[in-house]
Amino acid sequence: MADTVRSLTALQTLLADNTAGDISPQDVRDFLVSAVYPVSTIVRPGESIQDAFDAGFRHVILADGTHAPTANVTVPVSGWLEGEWQGVILDMGAFRIINNGRFEAATVKNGTNTTSTVQTAGLTEFIIFDNCVRSVSMVTQGKVRVCRFQNFAGSAAASDAYCMSTSVVANVWLVEGCYFNAGPAFRLTRGIENTIRNCTIQMPTSPTVAGIEVAGSAGLLQGLLIEGCIYIADTGSAGANGGHINIASTAEGVAVRGGFVIQSGTPTVAPPFIVRTASDGTIASGLQSAPGVGLGAIDGVILDGASRCTVSNLNLRGEGVGVGVKLAGTAEDRNIISQNTLTNFDTGVEIPSFACNFNILALNQLGGNVSAAFVDAGFATQKANNVTS
């Protein structure tokens, strides 16, 4: 059989203690080509990236210039695809990079594949995604760090208008330090124990979907942390479902912690955080509007059909209209709204219906709202130590 370049783990398995004479001549030849074979090679524009990996090179360096793959490129688990410098461009067309190892330092352009231009189960970092229909899809253990997404080329359909998506099982992935200036950032439908951290999401003028859309089915999306992000909404109408974060599913264990909302203009439909029917147990804490900047003609947080949620430590400023934290009146029960500062809205907190049961309002600062600090038409609402001046 052909001699095979193998990973360190595979070699350790092959070359276990030879008590039974299990090490074959083929195992020794595989060790030789793995240990002696050159690790790195440079691929120039016009040469095949995949051929380099297939030849056994683990570190493939892309020379400056425009590379236009004519087939999918698969980076193996032990592989590393690296741009030589800032001038490296991958003009992908309909083809994809299946990254199971490490991919960094290049500009990925003109991706037309509707699944994604890059599928990452490894580390993808320092990449500029430019004019791609769908830039990245996440799979298990994938990491995307310090990437920029610009000139989004996807359709306006709610199911498609995202730079990144998870439509297969995608567990324990991380998106960190990325900048989205291309349109809506994420559509999450599946996965367990995943994290979006320290990203900036610049929404377009009239988005059709939210910046982060959590839309999984029951039991398929659990344990999502969205932390320390900046959400920027542009001027003009925000469009339908144009909020910053929209949890529209039976997602479990979602936490939104920290971050800023920066709103310019006066959009009419763009709450920074929405929890919709059956999205129970969501925690929103530490979200702030930028100092001195109001949220426009919008509400702050809406719980719609959601129960057992915690909304705490928000510092949001309205512009004389809307509601800081609002229960929609469709059986929102046993929610805790505490330690928030909600100022300059029309109403600080609104519980509009007797269908809302056993909610707790405590330790909130609700001063400076136009009509009322809070409106409570719920059943057995518990209120304690709220400041309403």
The answer to whether 334 and 361 are in contact (CB under 8 A) is no
**Cβ 358 vs Cβ 380: under 8 Å:** yes
pLDDT exceeds cutoff 80 at 262 = no
**Average pLDDT over every residue of 316-338:** 87
Residue 316, Ramachandran bin (φ over 0: left; ψ between -120 and 50: alpha; else beta): beta
End-to-end Cα separation, the chain, in angstroms: 82
Summarize the confidence of residues 251-268 as an average pLDDT: 73
Query: CA-CA distances (angstroms) from residue 202 to 125, 138, 279, 343?
Result: 20, 21, 25, 25
pLDDT category at 277 given cuts 50, 70, 90 is low
Cα distances (Å, whole numbers) of residue 256 to 151, 210, 278, 282:
27, 15, 17, 8
C-alpha torsion angle, residues 223, 227, 229, 235 (rounded to 10): 60
* Among the listed residues 278, 382, 269, 385, the one whose alpha carbon sits nearest the alpha carbon of residue 334: 382
Nearest in space to 113 (alpha carbons), one of 101, 127, 124, 129: 129
Q: Are 240 and 208 a contacting pair, CB within 8 Å?
A: yes
| pLDDT band (50, 70, 90) for residue 239 | very low
Between 266 and 205, the more confident residue is: 205
Please identify, in words, the CATH class of the domain defined by 43-384.
mainly beta
**Of 37-46, 185-194, 294-303, where does mean pLDDT reach its minimum?**
294-303
pLDDT of 309 over the 60 cut:
yes
Domain borders along the chain are: 1-37, 43-384
Q: What is the pLDDT of residue 237?
A: 45
Q: Give the closest residue to 210 by CA, choosing from 240, 177, 242.
A: 242
Q: Is the pLDDT of residue 238 over 50?
A: no
Please determine, for residue 271, whether its predicted confidence score (pLDDT) is greater than 80.
Answer: no
How far from 139 is each of 37, 90, 165, 298, CA to CA, in Å? 31, 22, 9, 35
Residue 240 binned pLDDT confidence (cut-offs 50, 70, 90): very low
What are the φ and ψ backbone dihedral angles of 56, each rounded to 5 degrees?
105, -5
With tokens 């939104």, the residue in question is 256
